[in-house]
């Protein structure tokens, strides 16, 4: 059965109220998008920011009377803060299955493949990480994850200890173990990331004593040979001293989640403790690497 979608524009001041009112009129879900060029790169912890100008899509059952809904909406006081209201038909799809059908095996570097678990691996002799998209960020499709995977592929991880700081799906932690690391600490403040990392580790046969998963507090005074952090520039800068404290002499770091224009500031911050190298770029994103002094 097809759905009907009401599209309109509003502002962040009234988005919550407008969405609530339309849900009371029979809306089933509300989706928000940027209606202008106002990107949000780094929300502060605990914040859920919105763009200044918002395009709202409200999903309705196809059996509703659209003229009636629009007429009732025009009588609502909050309609004063919306514009360009228009209904359109939405094709009925299993959107999860649609996305899954497009998720193909991806190669990073010389030997590392990220493969959806429902497809055969392209190369049985390669280092294959089986991954199902789920609760947390990190499938290899985003440039920052790709940059980190490429770095891990070329790094010497044999018998090394590693921290995956902000592990998300656990893709980097699992890859590090499969690339030869002796122990990996996968930490994240998001409980969903802890769950996702455990599930992906189990899927890859590495949910054992070599992998320690939890909140950052589990690190204690742990010092490792390699640390990879694919988070954001703001947290990377604020956590720089803490990250440095977990890196032994000559330890290697890879930092990503950076936009190209943020590289200089982050590199300068980490140069207090690390000999920083030139950034590697992919699209508008960057990865910094360094060696502990």
Beta strands, E only, the chain? 3-11, 29-34, 53-61, 83-90, 106-108, 112-116, 127-131, 161-165, 183-187, 211-214, 224-230, 247-259, 274-276, 280-282, 285-292
Q: Whole-angstrom Cα distance, residue 98 to residue 93?
A: 7
Choosing among 3.40.190.10, 1.10.3720.10, 3.40.50.150, 3.30.365.10, the CATH entry for 136-292 is 3.40.50.150
pLDDT, tens digit, 9 for 90 and up, residues 26-83: 998 898 888 776 554 545 555 556 688 899 999 998 889 999 999 999 999 999 999 9
pLDDT, tens digit, 9 for 90 and up, residues 122-147: 999 999 998 876 544 566 678 899 99
Nearest-10 Cα torsion for 50, 55, 56, 62: -160
pLDDT of residue 185: 98
**Mean pLDDT estimate for the chain:** 89
pLDDT of residue 74: 95
Q: What are the boundaries of each domain within the chain?
A: 3-92, 136-292
pLDDT, tens digit, 9 for 90 and up, residues 261-292: 999 999 999 999 999 999 999 988 999 999 99
Domain 3-92 has CATH 3.40.50.300: no
Q: Do domains 3-92 and 136-292 have the same CATH topology?
A: no
């Amino acid at each position: 059965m097809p759905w009907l979608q009401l599209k309109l524009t509003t502002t962040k001041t009234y988005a919550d109220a407008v969405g609530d009112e339309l849900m009371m009129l029979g809306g089933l879900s509300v989706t928000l998008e940027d209606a202008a060029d106002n990107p949000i790169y780094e929300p502060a912890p605990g914040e859920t920011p919105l763009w200044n100008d918002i395009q709202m899509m409200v999903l309705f059952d196809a059996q509703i009377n659209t003229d009636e809904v629009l007429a009732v909406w025009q009588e609502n006081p909050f309609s004063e803060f919306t514009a360009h209201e228009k209904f359109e038909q939405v094709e009925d799809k299993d959107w999860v299955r649609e996305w899954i059908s497009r998720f193909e095996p991806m190669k990073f570097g010389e030997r590392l493949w990220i493969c959806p678990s429902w497809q055969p691996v392209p190369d049985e002799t390669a280092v294959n990480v089986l991954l199902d998209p789920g609760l947390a960020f990190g499938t290899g499709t985003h440039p920052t994850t790709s940059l980190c995977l490429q770095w891990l592929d070329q790094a010497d991880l044999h018998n090394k200890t590693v921290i995956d700081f902000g592990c998300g799906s656990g893709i980097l932690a699992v890859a590090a173990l499969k690339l030869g690391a002796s122990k990996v600490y996968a930490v994240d403040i998001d409980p969903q990331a802890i769950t996702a990392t455990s599930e992906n580790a189990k899927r890859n046969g590495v949910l054992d004593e070599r992998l320690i998963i939890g909140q950052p507090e589990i690190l204690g005074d742990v010092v490792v040979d390699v640390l990879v952090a694919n988070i954001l520039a703001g947290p990377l800068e604020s956590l720089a001293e803490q990250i440095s404290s977990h890196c032994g002499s000559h330890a290697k770091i890879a930092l990503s989640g950076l936009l190209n224009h943020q590289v200089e500031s982050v590199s300068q911050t980490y140069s207090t403790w690390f000999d920083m190298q030139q950034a590697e770029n992919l699209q508008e994103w960057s990865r910094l690497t360094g060696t502990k002094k």
